[in-house]
Structure formats: structure tokens, C-alpha cells
A = this chain, B = another copy of it.
Amino acid sequence: MKDKVKPKTLPGFMELLPKDQILFNKMKETIQKSYEKYGFSPLNTPIVESADVILAKAGGETEKQIYKLKKGDNNLALRFDLTVPLAKYVTQYYDKLSFPFKRYQIGKVYRGEKAQRGRYREFYQCDIDIIGDGELSIINDAEMPAVIYNTFKELGFDKFTICINNRKILNGLFSSLNLENQTSDILRTIDKIEKIGSTAVKRELSQIIQDDKVEKIMEFIKISGSNDEKIQALENMKIEDELFIEGLKELKEVVKFIRIFEVPEENFNIDLTIARGLDYYTGTVYETFLDEYRQFGSICSGGRYDNLAGYYTERKMPGVGISIGLTRLFFLLIDNGIISSENESISDVLIISMTEDYEYCAKIETKLRNKGIKVQSNIENQKIAKKFKYADKMKFKYVIIIGDDEVKNNVVTLKNMITGEQKTIDIENIEKAF
């Protein structure tokens, strides 16, 4: 006889018990519905692509993480994000699409990162992007925080902050100080401000740039107050750089429309220190934090980019988009007890038959399903105690009990498993009992 294979799931690959899967799917569907409300159409690209398509953008660390495979003579790869497939898609089907093209994609992506707690190698990204043909109005940049706000509200959160910045303001500031060539070093230092504090940041900056310039940068990153006060402070800096002026104008327009889109003042915040990587984003950038769990890092990020598909086409397609890393977020929420699952089962009600005549049971089941009620029955050849143990373990809210008396009188006994209350109900009106 052949040896048994040990059943196991790979580390870094999330696999949930039914109760958690129900909760995960509910979150995924909430995000999907929210995206659709804002007019984003679904997209579902293959998980496996030609390796050259996937590798067109990747480089360095990302490239090492990519899952590559061969089938016959073909070099294939698993997608590592949903942006590369989007760039491929809009280039490939350019003639058949209408622009601005709004799409969402919710799907699994693959990165062979070092496996550690809370890090996943297979994980869901939930992306939206708006792609323009040649140009794209700045108002779209204000729609993103509106979608983020609506989505996290629908997910049941109240205390979260969408942080907004504009890369042009940062770059314009550096350019006005003739620091263009040191941008990445400076940004890397500024990025540490939450970790090491502003004094340490100032000290580090002094090691690479002149003191008067450090002063100007510190003045900039220390800007605080309300959103309007920050905009005012930026104007007061009187920086005569074209890019800075453009970025500030964009930021003002974005803030104006965020308010028209009814995102409350306490849920968005101009944060002049966020930069979101160095190469990809060119204008507005977003990060989102749960106020009480700042340590989770950003749970929804994105921004504006000038050129989506430069590695596939000469055609200039600017865009703006955001992404929720759902697998990681779900793990953090469960692991910190912020959410927890209520039901082991998808069904509203379980029918338990005490008799061995299951006809009546099957009739009741059909009747409930015809009314759209999610139901399942335990018609197995088991002891009654075992059937009730099953009901308890699966945390059904309602159990319908059917014995000889019920069959004879054309009724059922309905037990509320939370209150323990039990009553006899006529089957004609059974759906009203829930």
C-alpha cells in the first residue's frame, strides 16, 4: 500500500476555517460593493502571465520574489501585483476601452517573501484605478479618498485617517533648494520621523545638506494644524518653484473636492511627510491609518502616476489608484481581536429531525429555501445528542426540531439558540418567525 501523503498548507498561504472564511468573504464583498458604487467595473486578469510581461516592470527585490514557472517552452510567472496586469490590459485592449477607464480588481497576487507571522506569499489585493488617455482631471484624485472613506465606513470603521500629500510639493521644495539629486536620501530620512523623532531627523539631515536648507526642510515638515492651516502655511513659505506651485494648487483642489464628496474633516489629513516610494507616483499620494492601531501601518495606499504603461507602449496613460491589502488587514484585525467571527455556518437555521422519516423534514427545508432562507438539515443517522452538539458547535441562531408530534400536527418547534426560547409554529407562516 502506498504511503499516506502528509496534508499541509504552505507557510505564507492563508487558509481559513469556515467561520473566518465567512467573515473574510463578507469584507471582500463589502469592498467590492463600495467600489462598484463609485462606478468601477470589474476586471479579472489571469494569475499566470508570460514572464516577459510580468518582468517588464519588476526589478531588484521584486524580481527575486517573483514565482516563475515553465510549461513546455514557455517562461511563465505568477503576477506579483494587479498594476502590471492593468497596464498590460489597457495597452492590449486600448481600442475597445472607453477612457477614463475605471476598473477594480480584487484578486490574489504572489510574492516569495521571507515567511514570517503576518507576512503572506499569496494575498489579496483590492485595487481601483482610473486611467486617462493622455490626461486625467485632478478631481479624480479627490474621488479616491471618497472611496476609501465609504469603504472603511461600510466595513464598520469610524476612527481612521486618510493621509494625503502631493509629491510635486516635496519635489518642488527640493528643487527650490537645489537638492534634486539628494531627493531619495532626504526622503528616506524624513520617512523615519515617526520612529526616531524630529530632532534625530534634523541631525541626520545636517550630515548630508547645508544648515540653511535643513532649516527650510524642518520648517516644512513641522507644518501642523488643521488642513486649511497647513495649506496656508505652505502658501506662506512663498516658494517660487513651478512644481511646488502646481502641487499646492492640486492639493487645494483635491481638498476642496474631498469636502464636496462629504468626507468628514476628522477622516482626512494633509500629511506632508508621506512620499510612497520614489519612482512610481508623481502627484497626489495616499496612506490610510486606523487611529487606534497606527502600528499596523498604512492599510490602504496609492496615488497618482503620470504614465501607467510606459514599458508596453509610447501612449501616455496617466492614472490614479489605491489598493487595500486585504489578507494582511484581515490577519491584523483577527489577530488583535478587533473583529471576530460569529457563525461557524453560512445558514440561518438548522433542521434537526428526531424521527427517521425525513420526508417532512425535507418538505420544511424546501419551503424555507423557497422563501430565500439559508437552511441546512441534519438527516444523518446520528443520536439526537450528537445532532444538538453539531448545532451548538456550528453556532446556529435557530434550530427547527421535528418529532412525531410535529409531523402529525403539521407544525415545527423553533428554538432560538441564543435565548433558549422555544415555540411551536405553523408551517404556513414559518418564515415570519425569524
Q: In the complex, A373 Cα to B24 Cα: how many Å?
A: 25
Contact of A122 among B6, B22, B48 (CB under 8 A): B48
Q: Which of A201-209, A270-278, A339-347 lies at the interface with chain B?
A: A339-347
Which of chain B's residues have a CB closer than 8 A to the CB of A13? Answer: 46, 48
**Bound Cα distance from A363 to B258, whole angstroms:** 11
Pairs across A and B, CB under 8 Å, 23 listed: A4-B312, A5-B53, A7-B92, A7-B313, A10-B48, A10-B50, A15-B45, A17-B93, A18-B43, A21-B42, A25-B44, A41-B344, A42-B346, A47-B122, A67-B71, A71-B112, A72-B112, A98-B344, A137-B381, A139-B362, A260-B362, A261-B365, A261-B366
Distance in Å from the Cβ of A202 to the closest Cβ of chain B? 40
Residues of B within 8 A of A366 (CB): 146, 260-262
CA distance A132 to B380 in the complex (A): 9
Which residues of chain B are within 8 angstroms of A362 by Cβ–Cβ distance? 139, 142, 257, 260-261
A39 within 8 A of B: yes
> What residues of chain B lie closer than 8 Å to A157, measured between beta carbons?
none
Whether the Cβ atoms of A18 and B67 lie closer than 8 Å is no
Q: Is A191 in contact with chain B by the CB < 8 A criterion?
A: no
Which residues of chain B come closer than 8 Å to A359, judged between CB atoms?
A: 257, 260
**Taking the complex as formed, is A150 at the interface, i.e. its CB lies under 8 A from any CB of chain B?**
yes
Would B53 and A8 count as touching, CB distance under 8 A? yes
CB closest residue in chain B, given A28? B44
Whether A167 sits at the interface, judged by CB under 8 Å, is no
Q: Among the listed B5, B76, B122, which residue makes an inter-chain contact with A312, where contact means beta carbons less than 8 Å apart? A: B5
Of all chain B residues, the one with the shortest Cβ separation from A348 is: B39
Residues on the B chain within 8 Å of A39, using CB: 345-347, 374-377
- Of the candidates B42, B45, B47, the one whose C-beta lies within 8 Å of that of A18 is B42
Is A38 engaged at the interface, CB distance under 8 Å to the other chain? Answer: yes
A380 to B52, Cβ gap below 8 A?
no
Within A86-105, the residues touching B (CB, 8 Å) are 87-89, 91-93, 96-98, 100, 102-103
Q: Are A16 and B38 in contact (CB under 8 A)?
A: no
* Residue contact B380 to A137, C-beta cutoff 8 Å: yes
Are B46's CB and A15's CB within 8 A? Answer: yes
Residues from chain B with Cβ under 8 Å of A7 in the complex: 53, 87-89, 91-92, 309, 312-313
Q: How far is the CB of A397 from chain B (nearest CB, A)?
A: 13
Q: Is the CB of A38 within 8 A of B369?
A: yes
Whether A74 contacts B378 by the Cβ 8 Å rule is no
